[in-house]
Structure 1
């Protein structure tokens, strides 16, 4: 699986929010902690907010926080928001035809794994058995 820099930044920003104490976290703090360019981060946070994964508050005491508990947000939830859903169903000719089934099985495994791992796992540093 190949993830874009945008998706990696989104995952890192969400993990930062999951590990933060309760309350709004300023975008500047997220950007600095995760070494994410601020303008890029602003667009990612907007996308995550529009998808309902995070909330925001404006003002001097403003910032961002998770819209649901970290245990209820999987890595797959974030990836789908940023990358979209893959509709790969390529078929191969002749003797290579079974390769399509192999790629499909790999995608299913990736999806299942990413759906099991939550932001709470990442923030706590303890992944479920894989």
Structure 2
């Protein structure tokens, strides 16, 4: 699986919102997650249109998660930024058995990314910080 910079930035932005206790301005997300500002704005707009984040304008505004972090899977974010990956073209001849292996691999990826939520990642990060 290839993860684009856009998806990495989107996941970073979503995790920044997951740990926040109030709306976060796009500028703050861009700076703390090291995302180019215009790119950050575009990603947040895409996430808002997909219903993963909400926003409000003004000094008390910003972005926040549309659902609790425990209800947003990594797969949800990846689907927004990467789209749904088309089925692999079947292999032919001697390589034909690889088709089933590729399907299993993709199903495994999808299942794993659907099981891991933003809350899981945040909790894992806190646990790792405590160990250090």
TM class by shorter chain equals over 0.9
Instruction: Normalising by structure 1, report the TM-score.
Output: 0.93
* Aligned-residue RMSD, C-alpha: 0.9
Aligned position for 2:11: 11
Matched, 1:109 2:108: yes
Q: Deviations over 1:37-69 (max 9, x none)?
A: 110000000000000000000011110000000
Structure 1 segments unaligned to the other structure (5+ residues): none
Aligned position for 2:48: 49
**Offset, 1:87:** 1.3
SS in 2 for 1:125: helix
Aligned position for 1:28: 27
**Offset, 1:84:** 0.5
Instruction: Normalising by structure 2, report the TM-score.
Output: 0.92
Given that 1:92 and 1:99 are in contact with CA atoms closer than 8 Å, whether structure 2 keeps it comes out as yes
SS in 2 for 1:65: strand
Aligned position for 1:74: 73
Q: Which runs of 4+ in 1 moved over 6 A?
A: none
Aligned position for 2:59: 60
